[in-house]
Amino acid sequence: MKSIVILISGRGSNMEAIVRAAIPGARIAAVISNRPNAGGLAFAAAQGIATAVVDHTAYADRAAFDAALAEAIDSHAPDLVVLAGFMRVLTADFVRHYEGRLINIHPSLLPSFTGLHTHKRALEAGVRVHGTTVHFVTAELDCGPIIIQAVVPVMTGDTEESLTARVLAQEHRIFPQAVRWIVEDRVCIDGNIARVSGAGEPGVMISPPPESV
């Protein structure tokens, strides 16, 4: 049984998707937030999952916060730490501490559009496809080995809100899949490439255009 700690900052919809997937061999040991009012904490508690808050505003600097966060995480002895909408940039020391067992979901087809405001930037760039990526976390922001991606079309008339919603639906598909592969010991890291045994090459889900289009 693999022990998993999930970190959130808000409503936790990706955390909820992982919990609802009920992945065999996985136990969600805890959900931890840096914000006391994160909506996802209530959902986790209702499922009987331990919850905790490590409020980043209570610490003098990023290193002090990361040390307190790591202490809270390590109390659950996790095999995997999942960043599910955790809106903090983590220090290199923190990332090294969880090397190979820290994953994140990013709302773009990495390596394109690292950082924030990805949907707005995709629309401004005029790309024809957009999407989301689950990847291992490294010290370099949004640059770790890619586990799986989902591709969505950018439709004529798309707004930031409509594109966000379509990408989020795919996040809810691929994040549980990535966690499942890791729990099944099917993912290995080869340099900066994550290889998934038995998943085909590459790990990609393609979302068709809406039927109404």
- Single out the catalytic residue among 56, 106, 130, 172: 106
Identify any residues that bridge with 136 across adjacent strands, giving them in sequence order: 103
Q: How far is CA 97 from CA 39, 80, 92, in A?
A: 28, 12, 9
CA angle, residues 202, 204, 205, in degrees to nearest 5: 155
Between the alpha carbon of residue 111 and those of residues 3, 32, 115, 119, 146, the distances in Å are: 29, 28, 10, 14, 9
CA distance 11 to 166: 17
| Pairing mode, strands 129-136 and 102-106 | antiparallel
Catalytic, 119? Answer no
Q: How many other β-carbons are positioned within 10 Å of the β-carbon of residue 40?
A: 24
CA–chain centroid gap for 77, Å, is: 19
How many residues make up the chain in this entry?
A: 213
**What are the catalytic residues?**
106
